[in-house]
Amino acid sequence: MQRASTGAATLLIALSPTLATSQPTMGCSVPALACFSLVHRYSFAAVQSDLSGITYNPDSGTLFAVNNGESMVFELTLTGGLVASWKLDIADPEAITWLGGRRFGIPDENPSSVYEVELPAGGSAEPLSPTLVNTGFVQPPAGLNKGFEGLAYVPGRDRYYAAQEQDPAQIWAVSQSNATLAFDGPLAGVQSFGDLSRSCDSASELFALVKYPRHVRRISLQTGAEIERYAGAVCDLAQSEGLTFFQLPGSSKVTMIAAGEPYEVVVFEAEADCSLPLNSTTGDNFECPERPTGAAGCKRTLSEGGCSLSRCSKDLNAHEKVCEEGINACSLSECERICAASYTSDGGGGGGDGGSGAAAFRGCTHFAYDARESECYLFNGCIEPGPSEDYTTYALVDPTCEKVVEEFPAGCIDRRCSKDLNRNDKVCTDDSAETQCSLGGCKALCESHTPFRCTTYSYEAAAGECYVFDGCLGEGYEPGYSTYVLVDPTCDKSLGEGGCPNRLCSQRDNGWEMLCSGTEPGFDGCSLDECAAKCSSAQPACSHFAYDPVDLECLSFASCAAEGFNDDFTLYRYAAIAEDGGDLGLVLGLSIGLGGATILVLAAALYCFCCRAARSPPFADLADNPALAITGNNKL
């Protein structure tokens, strides 16, 4: 079954605070969003992870951020330095708003509640018990993603506005005992919210950080209508979670800070007296651009286990069937060797015409093998790999660099992203000792690069030169350079390899299904082993599965495009037993929960693995086995 994201909408609720007795002012007003430009990018690592909301305190001149995973509040300098921290007696704090002095409003997502708390200077080693303002008025509860995700206290109205993350986009006015709709109809174009922020000292509007589609929105509190929006570098946030505005004493500029998980921060500034009209953002500052994607398809080599139960599209890729049952069957290692010989041949293209000889197909990048029938396909490219009950697909050489310097100090050697297909800047040059940098300096410049969000950097050690890129399309051979990514963008780890914590495939870009849940009606919770077993039984329609141990929730994915951060799930690549050598990780993991039958299967697989002949090197000469040459009998 394919299921789209719940993707419906966002609920705003207005609450009357119990402890706010004054009208705290910030001494600023927010100009048109078109006036703002990006000035800094930071990693607020002091928050540790799960940065879920942020606000500015003009009395202390510092920022306050919440970490919902640890139920913590952190006081930070404007550049992310740690000042103090507090533990909260709140299960899932998702936002924070300043009330004056050192008092703050904080929501709990489940059950949907609003609290107020005093945060004493210097931090506290003991958990703080906030004062409850209101709770339980949003039904159904947050198990259905209907909990509070953002909160803003608006002076002049003397109330809170609380944003429900998803479904539906309505604004409610809520007293201590009930809630009533403030506006008719949904908030147009909003599928989910990340946070709310007061508009400095205005009582007629507030701002919303919209998760999808990503943008900052100015909202009229009289009508609920959108006044204007801003996208820009907000589009770069992996998961939008926090928003705040302020003006520093003596400064002529208003600052806007947007934050995202795990601890990304982008800082914008605008002249306070900017005269641009409202609703004048255009282009990428109005709407996030569509990001180009590569077509690498399967990126796992034979040594990495390949992509089980899949095959590259025969309609979209040049291909040739080179081994066929009853005619010239071959082993997996022989299939790899034929691909390698084609890869090293001059020229490219080919495919699918049943030509004879090695020249009939050139430029093999992927091969697919059916172990039961001993059949082999060669492919030039792997656009749109699809499910296959019989084949496992392998990349001859990993076509993309996804190495982080901490795990692979040498990076991807002699590789560099295309300068034509990706935004890039040369940030270190060999012009002089002052313009050169080290590998660590190259990485730091990527992390802090302001003109665009850097994801990949290439370093030439001999010259001390460094390029930073916003992506890595068209990666290719470049002598002397080593390429690195800041974060590995894809999860290639199976259950046996521990999976990828805090990662999830996009629920908008992939077919997915909920298999278990301890919170969703109509579902039962399950263990990790049971989740893996359900993915196994769904083959070939489950390429990845994700598990949330708190909610006992299991999701299966048919593919894993646009993978990103998620603070609840660990993501796992499905890995089956390879007939001729592959990833046994899933079996190893399942053996714990599924008992002796699985152990028997594992033992049999290991026996076959140990007894099979050693594999030849991928570029071995085929002269010793002429029967494996591509012949005219290899029809598709």
Q: Please give the biggest Cα pair distance in the chain.
A: 89
Q: Is 411 helix (H, G, I), strand (E, B) or coil?
A: coil
Lowest mean pLDDT among 34-38, 202-206, 402-406, 474-478: 474-478
Contacts of 323 (CB under 8 A, 6+ apart): 329, 330, 334, 335, 338, 374, 375, 376, 628, 634
DSSP annotation of 581 reads: S
Residue 333 CA from chain centroid, whole number: 35
Which numeric CATH code is attached to 11-274? 2.120.10
Backbone angles phi, psi at 437, to 5 degrees: -150, 165
Residue 607 is encoded by which pair of tokens?
């026996």
What is the topology classification, in CATH, of domain 495-611?
A: Hepatocyte Growth Factor (3.50.4)
Q: Which one of 326-340, 591-605, 606-620 scores highest in mean pLDDT?
A: 326-340
Stated pTM of the model: 0.69
Which tens digit of pLDDT belongs to each residue from 74-90?
999 999 999 999 999 99
pLDDT band at 618 (very low <50, low <70, confident <90, very high): very low
pLDDT band at 160 (very low <50, low <70, confident <90, very high): confident
Q: Where in the chain is the domain with CATH 2.120.10?
A: 11-274
Peptide bond into 618 cis (omega under 30): no
Q: Per DSSP, which regions of 327-455 are E strands?
A: 366-370, 375-380, 386-387, 391-395, 412-416, 424-428
Question: If 0-12 CB within 10 Å is exposed, 13-18 middle and 19+ buried, where does residue 462 land?
Answer: exposed
Q: Where in the chain is the domain with CATH 3.50.4.10?
A: 412-485, 495-611
Class of domain 412-485: alpha beta
Which tens digit of pLDDT belongs to each residue from 236-286?
887 899 999 999 999 999 999 999 988 899 999 999 999 999 999 999 999
Lowest mean pLDDT among 316-320, 385-389, 501-505, 623-627: 623-627
pLDDT(134) > 60: yes
What is the topology classification, in CATH, of domain 302-396+618-628?
A: Hepatocyte Growth Factor (3.50.4)
pLDDT(594) > 80: no
pLDDT(605) > 80: no
Residue 573 is encoded by which pair of tokens?
């690549």
- C-alpha to C-alpha distance for 18 and 132, rounded to whole angstroms: 8
Yes or no: say if 255 and 268 are a contact pair by the CB < 8 Å rule.
yes
Let me know the angle formed at the C-alpha of 403 by 398 and 406, rounded to the nearest 5 degrees: 155
Backbone angles phi, psi at 322, to 5 degrees: -110, -15
- The per-residue pLDDT for 384 is 79
Backbone angles phi, psi at 65, to 5 degrees: -125, 145
Q: Is 513 helix (H, G, I), strand (E, B) or coil?
A: strand
pLDDT(579) > 50: no
Let me know the angle formed at the C-alpha of 241 by 237 and 246, rounded to the nearest 5 degrees: 95
Average pLDDT, the chain: 81
Let me know the angle formed at the C-alpha of 314 by 312 and 317, rounded to the nearest 5 degrees: 75
- The per-residue pLDDT for 604 is 41
pLDDT band at 175 (very low <50, low <70, confident <90, very high): low
Report the pLDDT averaged over residues 350-364. Answer: 50
Lowest mean pLDDT among 158-172, 193-207, 429-443, 460-474: 158-172
- C-alpha to C-alpha distance for 268 and 357, rounded to whole angstroms: 61
